Chains A and B, each alone.
Chain A
């Protein structure tokens, strides 16, 4: 097999929950050896919540953890003991990258701040992912993923017309921060490859989320105004929305991008007279008469399944897709015809479908391994990376350092 892009790069991964582990998942996908430092007395929240196979809980059974920690190793350390902290430092000295997403100041209090760690490894790259960032008057504030959506400005722009601000449905600030963090680490690796120098990266999830509402911010910057919430509409396309279909809570999303597509759309609907209807013939007209337009489209969509309607529209080159739920995705013939799903044996839950790597690299295909059980790689790390003998490991185990 070809050498993986980050082969030989080791990550001492102190992150937990979603943002940090999603950052290191990207590095693991690229072939880095990511070692999650876990503590049995305070396991990652994602090990403790749904989904569990057969509804039976278990520290190694959650689909949340098992999805976002594929390709990683797990080292179990009781970081309340000084010996465990010392082991963590030894691992840092043998690592290229340290990642963490604790609240501000926690790593410093454990004696694992960047200033300490860079003494152990001068070319170390360290990234902190936090809600607010490591500087600024609110740096010690506490932030959870769901709260970053309203913080970022996204909620004030998202929602139905004349309704309150709304969410986006996931803790968007977390994966988005994690992805930007992975990109940042790669930038630092490129810089280190050229200069030999490591560095510290301070990433604020608030800021990485706010970066994605640029159209709203630039409107304010230019005009002192912000766009009104307007559901699924688009200023430059009509129709543009989500329409009810046959079936319980089944919906079709569709968009008509220009006047020429509108002509074809009318043909698909079997309503050639609409193509010449002055209320709809141009984008401006369709925007002015959007309610009437949507009523006509709903008549058509509500007598079809979203799959039937999407196929008919796509046959004429018009963007349309089922509003997919997890069952739709899991069983989707298209996704199942791609290499996105992986099926690996996991010691406690057997083989389950997981999402693998959403990028296909032609020369370096990226393999995926099942997520680790808690502490699965403790002996490997101590013995093969840090050079501990069997007796020393047994002694550490006996003294509860490795829990």
Chain B
């Protein structure tokens, strides 16, 4: 059996939706033992978001939940009851890290209080992922993925564009703020666990989703402190081509940043006469005159097929890309050859293909060991490990603690 990078690392996760669940999934997929705690009855909010087979909602069949919770064991526990807190502490005594994404306003009532948990387990690393962090005037503001993405400065940079200023700034598909906060949390948590190998002390980590997003604004944040200006989605791009164009059977993203890439693309086009015009002489001119250039390119590109154009342009070292649909990705020969997609069998949905191995480790590979848990699936096993008898578990269940 292959070795696991995070063998023996024990994580307790209290995740709602994406952020904490993704952080813990990254660790679980690298071999950590993750116990996910869900509220009895309702469970993780992700169970109430699809996609679902046949588009019929079912809490055990949410694609989002199934994806975010691979390799975890799942228990139910009501943290609002004293008996729930008692069990929570017993779980944390044996844990290395606790990762949660409950809002600051809910943390106290759920017992997510580091000064108390530190006494339960002084070695515990506790990671709190919140919209605005655990200090500052807006720490108690409410948020969703959309408002976080907007507060972090990314929504402002996308959508509309020259001539369509009335169209609002646009979010990307899915809950990207949650993923970004999650991967940041996984780094900070593992960093603190690595530190613990030599310091032998736990600590509390405060992750602000807004700050994680403000950290990935490319050069556009520094435009303001350096030059007193800010980027918007409305301006012309300084250089072109960097745009979507439509082929006869789909879309491509044409990307020519270096001069040799533009020359290479012109070769693919058999060097049309207009290419010699001074207004297209370099990438800055092509940016300034994109209104004139885009229709010329579009005229030719609309007769091409995506695959053919992609292959020919890549052969000339042009970093062109297809606009992949979901079907394109599943059928892609390169991703297949790399074994990117994983087939995972879940008792309620049967086998399904998931996005899988995102990095290849030569010694301790990414691996699927189990599908996402059913709600409370591992109650007997996990609480049994803590020494609870079947009768005690049944009793807690009847009182709504589990």
Contacts and interface: CB of A to CB of B under 8 A. Distances in A.
Interface in B203-224: 203-208, 210-212, 214-224
A153 interface: yes
A42 interface: no
Contact of A153 (B205, B224, B326): B326
A251 interface: yes
B24 interface: no
Given A170-B218, A207-B335, A334 B138 contact: yes
Interface string A119-143: 0000000000001111111110111
Chain B contact residues: helix, strand, loop or mixed: mixed
B244 A166 contact: yes
Nearest to B222: A63
A361 B144 contact: no
A139 to B, nearest CB: 8
Contact of A137 (B63, B225, B326, B333): B333
A358 B208 contact: yes
Interface string A176-188: 1001111110111
Contacts of A349: 226
A292 interface: no
B216 A232 contact: no
Given A136-B337, A207-B358, A50 B219 contact: yes
Interface in B171-223: 171-174, 176, 179-180, 183-188, 190-195, 197-199, 201-208, 210-212, 214-223
Contacts of B190: 183, 186-187, 190
Nearest to B257: A144
22 contacts: A30-B187, A51-B227, A63-B219, A135-B360, A143-B319, A147-B320, A155-B251, A188-B364, A201-B359, A210-B335, A213-B174, A213-B326, A216-B326, A222-B54, A224-B327, A236-B48, A240-B146, A242-B146, A319-B147, A328-B153, A358-B208, A361-B205
A193 interface: yes
Contact of B3 (A175, A195, A223, A226): A195
Nearest to B52: A222
Nearest to A118: B362
A234 interface: yes
B371 interface: no
B157 A169 contact: yes
A221 B63 contact: yes
B368 to A, nearest CB: 14
A6 B150 contact: no
Contacts of B337: 135-137
Given A141-B314, A144-B257, A249-B234, A3 B199 contact: yes
